Structure 1
Amino acid sequence: MTQTMTGGCQCGRIRYEAEIDNDEAYLCHCTFCRRATGGAAAAFKNLPQARLKWSHEPEWYRSSPIGKRPFCSSCGTSLGYAYVDGENIDLTIGSFDDPGFFRPTSNFAVDTKLAAWEDTSHLPGLRADEHQSLTDRWIAATGKLPD
């Protein structure tokens, strides 16, 4: 069943609506995606560009001879990846308003995967609201913790 999901950049200048027909997503481990997103891997949802509507067109960076990446020039948010001549687009999972809807179902470019980052479930964890200097800074700057 198709549903409309929304998302956008950190500052809110760029917003989108995407028609999503399942919860399947994937991780890309290629060097280009790691550098473009600043992460150990990039989490993406692939969909036809015809099922995506931008409320404000993002800027596009031609990241390689075959690819381009939408982003917000105001806040720097990486919003996805598309082949220059492709019909589909990959949207970054983190740019969706409800990223928890998606589940990873595959890995791409496993030949360049950073193995040390594959499973971090054994590492100790700390909730953001348990980090005192962080909460102190938010309260001093805004009077409250972020939503």
Structure 2
Amino acid sequence: MEMTGGCQCGRVRYTARIESDEAYLCHCKMCRRATGGASTAFVNVPVDALRWEAEPDWYRSSPIAHRPFCATCGTPLGFAFLEGGENIDITLGSFDDPSRFRPTRNYASESILPAWQDTAHLPATRSDENASVTERWMKTVGKVPD
């Protein structure tokens, strides 16, 4: 199945051939810093199963790896080894519809932030219930984003 995705501003787009619903959470400190999250959800795909419609920007995040991103909006798009990598990790949140993916494992478990592992017990608020944000969207563009 082919799935599409890209950055927040739409400048960088991709199509990936996906054969599995598996995804994983990386808890390493480098991924946390690269994405600003408590962990990073990735989908691992073969390099030859990924087609960039517009080439992303890349930065060397360590001596062994580099990461695709959009320099216009800042969206982190993945992780790849510099040498010998047959696969690339694509950020789950950059897919247009990431709902099919299921987490199957944790990576870099030594760096897990325990307080962020299970948040199901926390109170939940829908975006459209935040009057301040809704008002800003309506005033600026006339609708709340999808």
Alignment RMSD, CA only?
Answer: 0.5
Number of positions where the alignment pairs a residue of Structure 1 with one of Structure 2: 145
CA distance in 1, matches of 2:44, 2:15: 14
Instruction: Provide the residue aligned with 1:45 in structure 2.
Output: 43
CA distance in 1 between counterparts of 2:8 and 2:108 reads 27
Cα distance, 1:87 vs. partner? 1.4
Displaced runs of 4 or more, over 3 A: none
Q: For 1:1-147, list aligned pairs within 5 A.
A: 3-85=1-83, 86-147=85-146
**CA deviation vs aligned residue, 1:61-104 (integer Å, no higher than 9, x gap):** 10000010000000000000000011110000000001111010
Amino acid at match of 1:109: A
Q: Taking every aligned residue pair, what percent have the same amino acid on both sides? A: 63
Q: Give the residue type in structure 1 aligned to 2:12.
A: I
Q: TM-score, normalised by structure 1?
A: 0.98
Q: Unaligned regions of 5+ residues in structure 2, if any?
A: none
| Alignment partners' CA distance in 2, 1:113 and 1:20 | 27
1:132 alignment partner AA: A
Shift of 1:124: 0.3
Q: If the length of structure 2 is used for normalisation, what is the TM-score?
A: 0.98
Aligned counterparts of 2:98 and 2:32: Cα–Cα separation in 1: 19
Q: Aligned equivalents of 2:90 and 2:31: distance in 1?
A: 12
Q: Which residue identity does 2:104 align to in structure 1? A: T
The unaligned stretches of length 5 or more in structure 1 are none
Q: Distance in 2 between matches of 1:142 and 1:107?
A: 39
**SS state at 1:63 partner:** strand
